[in-house]
Structure 1
Amino acid sequence: MVIMSVDLGKSRTGIAVCDKTEFLASPYTVIFEKSPNKLPEKVAQAAKEVKAELIVVGLPKNMDGSEGESAQNARDFAKKIQYLTGLETVMQDERGTTITAHNFLNTTNTRGKKRKNVVDEVAATIILQDFLDKRKNKNL
């Protein structure tokens, strides 16, 4: 199944996708959009482009596991995406993914503007890979 993930941001939203085997998550793109009205349409368009069959949206929980305003915004966004695409949309805990993404970028010595532009894409890839690994372990 082709699965697409979304790392929702205020100005940059990272998108990642996996192939039908659900083996490996890969970065797809970053959507540069600040308008909360236009962003769901652009994400829905990306889902159509990659022929997504399921969408995973990162859920920004607090470190203690509670949910704040950002988590509620992500849940509302996921509902809009589900409505626009007609695809099942699931939430995936994204605690620590941005930190992990920065660590990966440190390892590859990615700096400056390029780093700023890809960190959300890398975070979306981590969200999706975490989802795939969890899904795979449930089937074992």
Structure 2
Amino acid sequence: MITTDFNEFRSTIPSTGSLLGLDVGQVRVGFAISDKNRMIASAREVYTRRNIQIDTTYIQHYIQKENIVGIVSGWPLQMNGVAAESCEMVMKLLKPLEALIECPVFLQDERLSTRAVSRVLMDAGLNRKQRQAVDDKAAATYLLQGILDRL
């Protein structure tokens, strides 16, 4: 199940268990994971994409290895709330993944999240190259923590 309805997502996930945050880009996917009690999100890794089959298999194995019970993926809406072209790219990854996994996927509006994450990384004194190395997993962490705070 892939949904933009937070209440539907919340009602379909078990009461405990780790959630996976994904920041899906054309070149990279940032990963973040929550603790089993869903209090805090932690940045994990940045995966460099290859093709849909390899990408979905990699994420499927990651979900199994980490015992993930739900996924929060960034949903790149335009500022007016309309689905951006990037939303199609996200769905091209998530739809085939949905067939391989049993956990629900929540599409989290990610408007302004990139700006917020970039500001935090700049305030931390990271230069452009350092920010590029961590921004995808930092964005995934930011998105996931936003959902954890609502659960």
TM-score by length of 2: 0.82
Among 17, 23, 32, the alignment partner of 2:33 is 17
Q: Matches of 1:109 and 1:41 in 2, distance apart? A: 36
CA distance in 2, matches of 1:37, 1:100: 32
Residue 118 of structure 2 corresponds to 102
SS in structure 1 of the partner of residue 100 of structure 2:
helix
CA-to-partner distance for each residue in 1:12-69, whole Å, 9 max, x for gaps? 1100010111111110111012423322222222222221111111110001100122
Which of 77, 92, 107 lines up with 1:91 in the alignment? Answer: 107
Runs of 5+ unmatched residues, structure 2: 1-16
Change (3 A) 1:33 1:76: closer
The CA distance in 2 between the partners of 1:38 and 1:113, in whole Å, is 27
Report the AA paired with residue 2 of structure 1: S
Deviation, structure 1 residue 125: 0.4
Q: 2:99 aligns to what SS in structure 1?
A: helix
Query: Equivalent residue for 2:97?
Result: 81
Q: Deviations over 1:95-134 (max 9, x none)?
A: 1111111111112111243221100000000110111122
| Partner SS for 2:21 | strand
Aligned match of 1:129: 145
The RMSD of aligned alpha carbons is 1.5
Percent identity between matched residues is 27
Aligned residues: 135
Q: Give distance in 2, aligned partners of 1:99 and 1:39.
A: 26
SS at match of 2:122: helix
Amino acid paired to 1:65: G
* C-alpha distance in structure 2 between counterparts of 1:85 and 1:109, whole Å: 39
Residue 27 (structure 1) aligned with residue 43 (structure 2): yes
Match of 2:76 among 43, 47, 60: 60
